[in-house]
Every structure is written in structure tokens, then in C-alpha cells.
Amino acid sequence: MRIKEPYKQKTSDSDMAASSSSSAVPQHKVFINFRGEEVRNNFVAHLDRMLKSAGINAFIDRDDGVGKDINDLFKRIEESRVALVVFSSRYTTSKWCLDELVKIKERVDQGGLVVIPIFYKVEPYTVKKLEGEFGEQFWKLVRNHSDKVQRWKEALESISGKRGLTYDGRSNELEFIDSITKSVEEMLHGIRDEASVVICARDLSIEWSHDEKRWKWLPVEETRPNDAAIEVAKLIEVYWLDIRGKIRMKDLKRGTTYEVVFVVKIQDPAEGWHVPVNVKLALPTGEISEREVNLRTQTRGQWLEIPAGAFVTSPDNDGDGYVEFSMYEHNTTDTPKKGLFVKGVAIRTKSH
């Protein structure tokens, strides 16, 4: 007979806000813009796998925009922190690529995105000056899109003029992809250091985390070679979940919008998640946001970002209050929870 953990804390009605059931989708940090027919099943496929193996969330449009609203792709760009633009010989045959490029330029100009142009078997000056086959295809395309020609040209000139990476087709392609991955890691690391606060799992309050029969602490090497290892909490077996943390308002930048995300991973065999977990954000003002997340539907085997909510610091930011956040599920059942890893919580600036 199993002894279940005692239910220590009831959540009162006054602590509860209106909840909505939702499936959390990890925020895309890297948007890959490319011409599918040339590079999708080779270069981009390898790049996507290497980025994900480095723990980087990447988004690629798997359907070349067929049957989609371009605004959906624009939203993905707005969610991203880095854009990779893969210029290839047939890039300018696609209005989707060029429309995305205009949006990427817009976000770069606003300071909300950094971009790395990748010149895949084309020269940078060919792209910038619209020369050769690359240019011929562009002018052929704009015959039916004269209203877009100026914006497309400006985007091509601007993005191709950024410092990028060139692959000539003769060197080792996997080594080239590795160099792209390292460049992305460095960019994301710089963005993280500048704009976010990371609270590691050890600094969170995780119920039963000191019981080795319930949780196990594992060292995980960060992706940058000079970074020290961090510890993540691996759930062995609990019947109810309670993870909490907080940060002082004073420690955050004034007049800034922040979002709070739990960084977790679901690893099979994952059990006991038939009841959604609650993710809650409470502000010093008394405002509370809360939602349910079904962990059973989440992607397995990769780090996920589960949003807890967003808030705005005051212009003077002189309060002594705390922003509190939690992930919990207190419904004691006969099925123990297993297969959850907790890396920490990120509090980072959010673009409007």
C-alpha cells in the first residue's frame, strides 16, 4: 500500500482567478526563413536538428505557406529572438520568402530581433545587387507584384548587408551548420544576459525536492563551453505537485513589460498527468492570472517554456512587493506523477 503525501495547502477561492484550459506551445527563439524546394530536405533539415540538439527552439514553415495566412508566419517572427535567413539560388522565386524578409527587416529595425544572413551557395554581393540568376528571378517575380518591389528590394539590401555566414558548397556542410549553431547560441546568450533574469531550479521552492525518493538532482551542461553546469530537478514520483518562486519588483527594470515562463521537460515514461497543472502569476497589486496546462499533450524530450503570464513594472518601480509564480496540481490520485524535469523560471522582457 502506497502512502500518499498529505495535501498541505488548499487554494482558496480568493486566490483563484478565472482559468482557461490551454496547451502551452514553446516560444520560438529562432525563425528560419528559406526557399523550401532547394534546402528543406537537406541543409535546413540538418540545421533544424542541430539547433534542437543544442536545446534551441527553432521554427520552420514546413508547408511553404500553402493554405496559411501570412499573418500567422508574421506572428512566429514576432515571437522569435533570432532570425536565420537562408539565401539560396532560387530564394527570389518565392513571394512568401520575401514577405517574411520584409517582416524580419521591420522587427530588426525596431530592435526586437537580430538576424544572421546565411549565403548558401550564393555570394553576398549577388544578393545585395540582385545579380545573376538570383536577380533575374526577382525581376520576373515582381512583374505580378509591382506594389511590393520597393519593400522587397529594401529588405534584400538591408539583410544581405548584415554580417553573415557563407557556404560555397565545397567545404564540410556539417561543420558549417555547427558554426551557425554556435553563432545562434552566442546571440541568444547575449540576449538572455541583457534582458532576462533566470531563476534556477535550486532556487525555487519544490515540495519534496529534498526527498531522494521523490526528486533527483542532475547536473546538466549548458550549451556554451565556458558555462558552468547547472542542476535540474528530475521528478521520480509524487502524488501532487507544488513548485513556487518569486522575485522583487525592485530587481526589475522600470516601466518594462515582462513575461514569466517555467522551463520544463516531459520525458517518457511520463505518468500521472491526466489532470492539467495550474500555472499562476500573482502581483503585489493583488492581480492574479491563472491557467491550466495539459502536460500530456506537450512535446516529449525537449525543453519547453510554459508561460505563467506577463506584467508591467511601474515607471518609478519603487515598491517593495514581490512577483510570485507557481506551477501546481493538488488533486491527490492513485496514479503517481513521473517524467517531469524542472530547469527553472525565466523572467524576461516581452516585445509589445
154 included as an active-site residue: no
Residue of 78, 27, 13, 28 lying closest to 290 (CA atoms):
13
Q: Determine the 3-state secondary structure of 48 from DSSP.
A: helix
Residue of 287, 293, 214 lying closest to 20 (CA atoms):
293
Catalytic residue among 37, 38, 79, 100: 100
Q: Which three cell numbers stand for residue 21?
A: 484550459
What is the C-alpha to C-alpha distance for residues 180 and 185, in angstroms, rounded to an integer?
A: 9
Query: What DSSP designation does 42 have?
Result: I
**What is the rounded radius of gyration, in angstroms, for the C-alpha atoms of the chain?**
23
Per-residue 3-state assignment (H helix, E strand, C coil) for 118-137: EEECCCHHHHHHCCHHHHHH
> Using an 8 Å Cβ cutoff, are 287 and 322 in contact?
no
> Using an 8 Å Cβ cutoff, are 220 and 231 in contact?
yes
For 2, counting Cβ atoms within 10 Å of its Cβ (0-12 exposed, 13-18 middle, 19+ buried), the class is: exposed
Spell 232-250 as b/e; 16+ CB within 10 A means b: bbbbbbbbbbbbebebebe
Q: Determine the 3-state secondary structure of 309 from DSSP.
A: strand
Residue of 138, 46, 126, 123 lying closest to 90 (CA atoms):
138
Query: What DSSP designation does 337 have?
Result: B
Question: C-alpha 94: how far from its chain's center?
Answer: 26
Which H or E element spans position 289? strand 288-293
What is the C-alpha to C-alpha distance for residues 340 and 303, in angstroms, rounded to an integer?
A: 11
Give the active site residues. 100
